[in-house]
Amino acid sequence: MNELQLHTAKARRREVFSRCARSGALSANPNPFAPSRLRGGLLLLLFSAACGDTTLFDPMERQPKFRAFSANSLYEDGRAMRQPPAGTVPREAITMRPEITTAADRKGAVIDTIPISVTRELMDAGRTRFEIHCAPCHGLLGDGVSPVATQMSLRPPPNLHKIRNPSPGHVFQVISLGFGLMPSYAPQLTAEERWAIVAYVEALRRSQSAMLAEAPPDIQKKLREEPQ
């Protein structure tokens, strides 16, 4: 008999019964089925609940499986739990800096800054991702002018520069979790890509009301030379 079979329903039930018997929980009624089936069944339910056996309520738990931290001779290291491949980090891992994957600090407050460094590469990645994943609905400029918006009568994708809460943390959470009619884009975009989009949306917003004097000198010169 292998270890898997050991964890079948019967073995587990026996285990629970002997544990209960040892703890004295069954001694009040040594044979719960004898006097009356109904009363016995009820008592059994109560006892099993008292002993923490939830398999009676949740049949999904009654299946062959390895429990966390149990042994498994199939693997060389004898452990049922497998180690993640060396050097990998789960996409949504809560790291020492939860704000990077959740946009909320350790106390759960939504942050209003971008927690990773905003570089030219990040901006470029943000632009590419935005134009693939967001622009079809929110428009290339993020202003809500898009073919999809003209077709959606119920709740068209809004102008991203006019939303009530434009804080980077909020926008990150909207992309990660979805918002009303808008689905989550977490399966398509890593946390870093989502921050890249947030940074690019900020840039788009600023670009909509930028003063000429704010542009770099060479761009200013080029724009001044353009015919009015």
Q: Where do contacts with ligand HEC occur on this chain (CB under 6 A)?
A: 133-134, 136-138, 148, 155, 157-158, 160, 163, 165, 171, 174-175, 179-182, 185, 197, 201
Closest approach, Cβ 123 to ligand HEC, in A, equals 14
In sequence order, the 6+-apart residues with CB closer than 8 A to the CB of 166 are 160, 205
Minimum Å gap between C-beta 209 and ligand HEC is 18
- Compute the least distance from the CB of residue 19 to ligand HEC, in Å: 51
Rounded CA gap, 35 and 40, in Å?
Answer: 7
Q: Look at residue 130 and give its three-state secondary structure.
A: helix
**In this complex, which beta carbon is closest to ligand HEC, that of residue 56 or of residue 186?**
186
Task: Please say whether the beta carbons of 204 and 141 come within 8 A.
Answer: yes
48 versus 176: smaller Cβ distance to ligand HEC:
176
Kindly tell me which of 47 and 200 has the beta carbon lying closer to ligand HEC.
200
Nearer Cβ to ligand HEC (84/147): 147
Closer to ligand HEC by Cβ: residue 111 or 160: 160
Q: Is the dihedral of CA 99, 102, 104, 105 positive or negative?
A: negative
Which residue has the closest beta carbon to ligand HEC?
180
Q: With CA atoms as reference, report the closest residue to 102 among 164, 175, 187.
A: 175
- Burial class of residue 167 (count of CB atoms within 10 Å of its CB; 0-12, 13-18, 19+): middle
Q: How far is the CB of 94 from ligand HEC (least distance, A)?
A: 22
**Are the beta carbons of 103 and 111 closer than 8 angstroms?**
yes
* Least distance from ligand HEC to the Cβ atom of residue 137, Å: 3
